[in-house]
Amino acid sequence: MRIVPWNTIRSWRCDACGICCKHYQVVLKFPEWLNIVKNFGVEYTAPSINQFLLRKKPDGSCVFLYKTANVSYCSLQNAKPQACKLWPFKVLDKPKYGRPNDAVYYYGNRNLFIYVDSACTGVRFGVPTQYFTYSVIPEFIEVALGVRQKQFKSTAIL
């Protein structure tokens, strides 16, 4: 895993490879956990002493992941946990992963620091495009700040 500042990335688009839904454990907020328990049953969550987690299938993939041909689908879609909506982006108040000049993003009268996990197969390195800078990143920020639920530019387009 290599976390890089957004300003080193030309563009990003989820290609629905499903890798992130298999190799990472999704940590839920309590209301998200409660929603899943109410709507699907406690068996869709994983037992844990100090965290709320999604259950995984025996092959390691998320219980809500479905695959047809080579395309992976999340059956929760807009009801996905916030951690899933934000992956592979990290929206922070401080430059936790370094290179603050490349990570800083001015949004709503303040500086935020945006990083991307380069393990995502949708990352393309280079000089950021206008679309990535002014459409994709702001949507991730809005998801992180809780002012947006639905995603259009920050999710797979299939």
Tokens at 8, concatenated: 């080193």
6, 80, 90, 115: which one contacts ligand SF4 (CB under 6 A)?
A: 80
C-beta of 82 vs 129, nearer to ligand SF4: 82
Minimum Å gap between C-beta 14 and ligand SF4 is 3
Peptide bond into 88 cis (omega under 30): yes
Tell me which stretch binds ligand SF4 (CB under 6 A): 42-50, 84-92, 105-113, 130-138. Answer: 84-92
Residue type, 103: A
Report CA-CA distances (Å) from 58 to 7, 22, 61, 62, 73: 38, 11, 7, 9, 18
Distance CA(111)–CA(105), nearest Å, equals 6
Q: Does 16 bind ligand SF4 (CB under 6 A)?
A: yes
Q: How far apart are CA 48 and CA 97, in angstroms?
A: 28
Which residues from 111-140 bind ligand SF4, rule CB under 6 A?
Answer: 120-122
The interface with ligand SF4 within residues 51-70 (CB under 6 A) comprises 54, 62, 64-65
Interface with ligand SF4, residue 37, by CB under 6 A: no
